[in-house]
């Protein structure tokens, strides 16, 4: 159980189950590298790790969240999870690694959510056929981006999916 003082809004179990059903039908989990942005409690990272992905990189700038994730992955013996304390936008600007799935769960009131799409695409952070998935509320519309492929709604949780467009 996550400490109550962490600034997080975990993805609902209903939405998470639906998301992982989609992912497991489109990816071989044991063959992918995942980037989890705005990791919070690490909930999504643990889901990926429990499914045997090659690696998960969890990024959050909150020290309490990082400490909690490190403690939890140690207890669960998830050796494929790397935890990095960093600002997500700085990390995306500096990273050169590619990922098969990039999952972002930013605060719903974040003004520059769309910048995540721009940075991921401009810096070529997705592998061929990789997906960027951004969790957001219904007020956020990311469907105008060229790389947008679909929107899935689960209660109050919305997932926008993006994929590099072939030229």
- pLDDT bucket at 109, cuts 50 / 70 / 90: confident
CA distance 95 to 24: 26
Give the per-residue pLDDT at 145. 87
Mean pLDDT of 146-150: 91
Sheet holding 99-104, edge to edge: 81-85, 55-60, 33-37, 99-104, 126-136, 157-163, 148-154
Q: Which residues in 67-116 belong to E strands, given as ranges? A: 81-85, 99-104
Select the more confidently predicted residue: 130 or 4: 130
pLDDT surpasses 90 at 70: yes
Question: How many Å is the Cα radius of gyration of the chain?
Answer: 15
pLDDT value for 9: 52
The arrangement of secondary structure in 32-163, i.e. its CATH architecture, is: 3-Layer(aba) Sandwich (3.40)
The C-alpha atoms of residue 134 and residue 162 are separated, in whole angstroms, by 8
pLDDT in tens, 1-43: 555 555 555 666 778 888 999 999 999 999 999 999 999 999 9
Report pTM: 0.92
For 141, the token pair is 């519309």
Concatenate the DSSP letters of all residues of 42-80 into one string.
SHHHHHHHHTT-SEEEEEES-HHHHHHHHHHHHHHT-TT
Instruction: Name the strand (E) or helix (H) holding 91.
Output: helix 88-94
CA–CA distances in Å: residue 10 to residues 51, 100, 103, 129, 163: 19, 22, 13, 27, 24
Report pLDDT for 78. 95
Given a cut of 60, whether residue 58 has pLDDT beyond it is yes
Q: Domain spans of the chain?
A: 32-163
Per-residue pLDDT of 81-105, as tens digits, reads 999 999 999 999 999 999 999 999 9
């Amino acid at each position: 159980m996550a400490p109550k003082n962490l600034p997080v809004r975990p993805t609902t179990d209903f939405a998470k189950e639906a998301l992982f059903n989609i992912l497991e039908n489109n990816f071989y989990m044991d063959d992918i590298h995942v980037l989890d942005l705005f990791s919070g409690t690490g909930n999504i990272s643990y889901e990926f790790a429990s499914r045997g992905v090659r690696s998960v990189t969890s990024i959050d700038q909150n020290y309490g969240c990082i400490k909690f994730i490190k403690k939890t992955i140690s207890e669960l013996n998830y050796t494929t999870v790397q935890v990095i304390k960093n600002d997500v936008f700085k990390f995306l600007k500096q990273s050169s690694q590619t990922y098969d799935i990039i999952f972002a769960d930013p605060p719903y009131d974040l003004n520059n959510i769309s910048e995540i799409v721009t940075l991921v695409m401009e810096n070529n952070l997705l592998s061929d056929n990789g997906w960027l998935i951004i969790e957001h509320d219904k007020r956020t519309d990311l469907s105008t981006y060229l790389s947008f492929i679909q929107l899935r709604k689960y209660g109050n949780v919305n997932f926008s999916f993006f994929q590099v467009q072939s030229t």
